[in-house]
Structure 1
């Protein structure tokens, strides 16, 4: 069932598997406040529906913000998700190797900082990510 669909996010929830699927939004500096607002809505939805499993699809996400802004957004989102009852987060990697290297650097910073209280794995395709979440 679609819980939210707008120009920034689409939140699709399957209550049978308790998986929320989200296409991670494009990160553009001129729309950053709107993106942050929508990510807050996503976190509130996870909290309100008591979602335990999240699939974030970053495979087509365009990043037009600098590395510091991107890292700060990642840290803020991870901290907010850690305040929910989320247990698994599957992330579908971007096709660009350069973007994935930066994403992995951000993930390492998050893990070292202790902000992640859930299992986090990255996948190259949707099918594998869903299979892991359904385990």
Structure 2
């Protein structure tokens, strides 16, 4: 029965950039981190706003950001701007834990790690942030099994 609860998800939002899956049994929202292309930056910010509104409306405490399929074709400045925008927005929610599933791309991962270091140096995050090499490990951490 417990494994069934862990698989009960609702799609709260879905567009060409992001999909928000929420599991009320575990209070975990899953989102695939969007591809970062110059021509999509304003739409990505609107999608992040939708993510943040949804997190607030459902009072989500745990978020899984899946970067396994993310493609980045913007520069470091634009990538950092989007990551900072997301982090600043999450700071205004009641999120307690953010699990990030790493990209298999070394380039994407280097950019992400640089962004995380920058954000952590500039502001104190009011939530725990951990990186994981697999979605299963991230979910275990979010449900408190590790």
- Same fold judged by TM-score > 0.5? yes
Query: Which residue number corresponds to residue 20 of structure 2?
Result: 11
Does 2:58 match 1:49? yes
Whole-angstrom distance in 2 between the partners of 1:98 and 1:69: 15
Deviation at 1:115, TM superposition (A): 4.6
- Structure 2's unaligned 5+ residue stretches are 1-9
Deviation at 1:75, TM superposition (A): 0.9
Bigger radius of gyration among the two: 2
Moved over 6 A (4+): none
Deviation at 1:99, TM superposition (A): 1.8
One of 14, 38, 45 as aligned partner of 2:47 = 38
Whole-angstrom distance in 2 between the partners of 1:77 and 1:107: 11
Whole-angstrom distance in 1 between the partners of 2:111 and 2:73: 13
Whole-angstrom distance in 1 between the partners of 2:93 and 2:112: 22
Q: How many residues align?
A: 135
- Provide TM-score, normalisation by structure 1: 0.97
Q: Is the 8 A contact 1:79 1:115 kept in 2?
A: no
Query: Which residue number corresponds to residue 89 of structure 1?
Result: 98
- Provide TM-score, normalisation by structure 2: 0.90
- Structure 1's unaligned 5+ residue stretches are none
One of 110, 116, 120 as aligned partner of 1:107 = 116
For the aligned residue pairs, the C-alpha RMSD in angstroms reads: 0.9
